[in-house]
Every structure is written in structure tokens, then in C-alpha cells.
A and B are shown apart, each in its own frame.
Chain A
Amino acid sequence: KNQVEQSPQSLIILEGKNCTLQCNYTVSPFSNLRWYKQDTGRGPVSLTIMTFSENTKSNGRYTATLDADTKQSSLHITASQLSDSASYICVVSVFSGGYNKLIFGAGTRLAVHP
């Protein structure tokens, strides 16, 4: 069964600290992996997209890594800011049945405290 598991479920860190969020997936066949940021009361916004051949991709203070062999991805946030408080969602893509099927993780809720 295609699944995307994220950990931790929630995380609290102090402003300025780094953190790493984890994503494990069992999706097959794998197409690409995406990380989204969802602020409270808003829709998800794309941070990164990686294909199976990419190991790392950065977007400012956000760096995503992908290990297609172990089916694991991580999102590293450097020098966190209060505005980083949000849910971070890992999404794995499978092209199946005529459309790009996205399998969404339940997200990691990050709170950055001053």
C-alpha cells in the first residue's frame, strides 16, 4: 500500500535553532517527492520538488534530501525564524491512472518560539 509517514508529529524549537523533519515512504513506482509548507488557515505552498535522481535541493533556509534507495527524505531548516511556524507536508508523486497521483503525509507541525 502506498504510504507516506512523517516524523515527528509535532516539534517545538527556539528561534535561531536548526531542525530536521523526516519522511519515509512506501510509494511505488516513485515519480518525485515534494515538500510543502502550510501556514495555519492557508493552503499548502510548495518548497521543493525532487526527482529520484536528485539527492538534495535547497530553497533559502530549507534544504531537502532524498535517498531513493532507503525511501527516506528529510527537510532541514536552518536558523529558524518565527515565520517558520507551520505544518510541513511531505508528498510523494505516482503517475497512475491518467493523472499525477499525490500521496500526502499527515504533516509535521513546527512551532518556533522566541
Chain B
Amino acid sequence: IAGITQAPTSQILAAGRRMTLRCTQDMRHNAMYWYRQDLGLGLRLIHYSNTAGTTGKGEVPDGYSVSRANTDDFPLTLASAVPSQTSVYFCASSRDSGDSGANVLTFGAGSRLTVL
């Protein structure tokens, strides 16, 4: 089934540890995104990639890094996790990053991260 796969589904880690959340899509979408979802808030964009080899900062990029070595994979790394990064992280993709009403985002199932 075409879509986005995120791993791990959930993780608990100690503050200061390094963590990478994995995201893979098989739809050959050009654009990919990482969002975090916190209780009572709308999803907020962390980083994005319009196409393989390029990345950009979103609304809340501090403490996170991404890479886009190929079309399918878009990992999110927390170099040194802090408790405020406790959240649910969603990876998403779209056909492209253009201003098209048909440019629908497809989301993964999310990765629940708890930093103690």
C-alpha cells in the first residue's frame, strides 16, 4: 500500500541523547515535511524539503536537523534531546511544493517521543 512509513512508533529517551526518527515514502513525492503536534496546538512545521538534496527550516527548527539524500527518505535528528521536544512527530509528503489546491499532503501515522 502506497504511503508513508515512520519509525519508531513510540520512543522514550533520556535528555541529552541523540535520536533519529525515520520517514520513508513510496509515492515518489518530491516534497517532504516534518511536523510536531502538541496538545492544544496546531501542527507546526519543523523542517521541509522541496526536492531531494535540498532542505529548509520551518516554523520551529531549533534542536532538529534533517537530510534528504534521496527522494524516498527524510530522517529527522534530535542531536541532544530535551524535555520540551516531547511530542508527536508527523512526517508528510506531497507531489510538489507548489501553490496548487490539488497538492494534498499525505501524513504518516506519527512517532510519539517522550524525553525524560
Contact = CB atoms under 8 A, between A and B. Distances in A.
A43 interface: yes
B45 interface: yes
Interface residues of A, number: 28
A100 interface: yes
Interface in B90-116: 90, 92, 94, 97-99, 101-105, 107-110
Given A98-B56, A99-B48, A104-B44, A43 B101 contact: no
Contacts of B69: none
Contacts of A21: none
Contacts of A98: 50, 56, 97
Contact of B45 (A34, A95, A101, A106): A101
A75 interface: no
**Which interface class (under 10, 10 to 19, 20 to 34, 35 or more) fits B?**
20 to 34
Most buried by B among A42, A43, A99, A105: A43
Interface string A40-56: 01111110011100000
Nearest to B92: A43
A95 B92 CA distance: 17
B99 A31 contact: yes
16 contacts: A41-B109, A42-B110, A43-B109, A43-B110, A44-B90, A44-B105, A46-B105, A49-B104, A89-B42, A95-B98, A98-B56, A99-B97, A100-B99, A100-B103, A103-B42, A106-B40
| 6 tightest Cβ-Cβ pairs between the two chains A and B | A43-B107, A104-B42, A95-B99, A104-B43, A32-B101, A51-B101
Interface of A: 4, 31-32, 34, 41-46, 49-51, 89, 91, 93, 95, 97-107
